[in-house]
Structure 1
């Protein structure tokens, strides 16, 4: 248990007020970490230290870093969880420049921007862990459903790997977690919207969506808490020799070897 203990660690979880982000924040707090969460709004009244910020706005990222530095002196753990599918389905012809730009800004640039702001303190203290929350879509794009989102996550995977190599000798580990279908409110809305547009039930919509990815061998979606437990392990002393890897947590759905 000592190897999973996070007492004395300062952790920032972006998008930490709901879904996977909330589950991660709660899990790290249970392990003893001092948890800071950020999101544009805080409707859930989180028990963790909350700082409002829109990470697609460079000025707000700078202000976030200043507040963290003033209150906590930096962070030991950074979970880049902010992201999401915001673009319409239908393939390349439905996606405008604005669609592509907003998806890249949300799922890639926001993480790069925050990393660049907080990494110097990690290098100075010669320790730190960064986890980028990606998606199995980064390795398996569905052209008719999530093209821009999948491309942005594939770019995040590549960036994360390169950053890990750069920082490996400076005491900072960088890892990527790629969830598959996870039972969150946005996922439920996505399934319901898809089913409504197709004129089928939500259950039928879920079956159709999962069929496009080959299904889930374990027969169910992940719970947010299961993703959080993986993240907890990766940021803990138990994972001290791990960096640069992508960890899919998808119930076996990704039909590739690596």
Structure 2
């Protein structure tokens, strides 16, 4: 170990300019705004080539990423996106399932069948379908990372969002099983679970919830750490899980909620 400041790597321009994800090919779903856009931006900044998708483009899609409109709620949509990823990127090394969401209802029993199905398709089955199409390529190359974005609210589910958190609970269970299956092939699978985060989608959902009379209603106090999460807080956690710094982590669920939810 050198202590005199003469470590040659410190002054090597080629070494100092190398970025953490240089040469990595990343696909991020739901990357047009909020947490997804933060993920895309951070991956680009770290040297990755990024393809991102949403049902419609917005002005907040980070420059430098390739954007394609896609609806991942259907098998056909997942197949089209996987084909585009192979065409544009030549394969996928990093896969982040960030697309998600659901509309609140008066009560759990008031959620109609079609919205239960939509919540499952978007928040759970979209990941299952896309993984089934892209994980075999990772397994063949014996490397890759999959990150599923879940929700920190699962243990204390508000009834208006039961369809959403039930789908996310299924996603977490599936992630652990997929991690066990792919680990011997050099592929890691982890979950990141955000708490209340300041995003356009989150704000719109909270406004909808505020209009619903559902008992005591939502808690508007700040989490114990004193503020709502920022998109970059969640992106930081996801990038850690994708990095070599997390090379001994698979089948884990990283909760990023400022202490908002109590877990036993």
TM-score by length of 1: 0.89
Contact 1:138 1:152 in 2 (8 A): no
Q: Partner of 1:202 in structure 2?
A: none
The answer to whether the aligner puts 1:132 opposite 2:148 as a matched pair is yes
Q: Partner of 1:6 in structure 2?
A: 21
The answer to whether the aligner puts 1:221 opposite 2:237 as a matched pair is no
Secondary structure of 1:136's counterpart equals coil
The answer to whether the aligner puts 1:189 opposite 2:198 as a matched pair is no
Q: Partner of 1:252 in structure 2?
A: 259
Q: Partner of 2:98 in structure 1?
A: 81
Deviation, 1:196, is: 4.2
Residue 173 and residue 4 in structure 1: after superposition, are their counterparts in 2 closer, same or farther (change >3 A)? farther
The answer to whether the aligner puts 1:210 opposite 2:227 as a matched pair is no
The answer to whether the aligner puts 1:51 opposite 2:68 as a matched pair is yes
Contact 2:195 2:229 in 1 (8 A): yes
Deviation, 1:256, is: 1.4
Structure of larger gyration radius: 2
Deviation, 1:69, is: 1.1
Tell me how far apart the structure 2 counterparts of residues 215 and 141 of structure 1 sit (CA, whole Å).
Answer: 18
The answer to whether the aligner puts 1:160 opposite 2:175 as a matched pair is yes
Q: Which moved more, 1:58-67 or 1:175-184?
A: 58-67
The answer to whether the aligner puts 1:110 opposite 2:119 as a matched pair is no
2:243 to 236, 240, 244: 236
Tell me how far apart the structure 2 counterparts of residues 52 and 43 of structure 1 sit (CA, whole Å).
Answer: 11
Q: Which runs of 4+ in 1 moved over 4 A?
A: 1-4
TM-score by length of 2: 0.87
After superposition, give the CA deviation of every residue in 1:117-159 in whole Å (9 maximum; x if it has no partner): 101110111000000000012232112x211111111111100
Q: Tell me, which stretches of 5 or more residues in structure 1 are unaligned?
A: 199-206
Q: Which moved more, 1:95-104 or 1:21-30?
A: 95-104
Secondary structure of 1:227's counterpart equals helix
CA RMSD across the alignment? 2.0
Deviation, 1:226, is: 0.9
After superposition, give the CA deviation of every residue in 1:12-40 in whole Å (9 maximum; x if it has no partner): 00001111000001011111111110111
The answer to whether the aligner puts 1:71 opposite 2:78 as a matched pair is no
The 5 A counterparts of 1:15-34 are 15-34=30-49
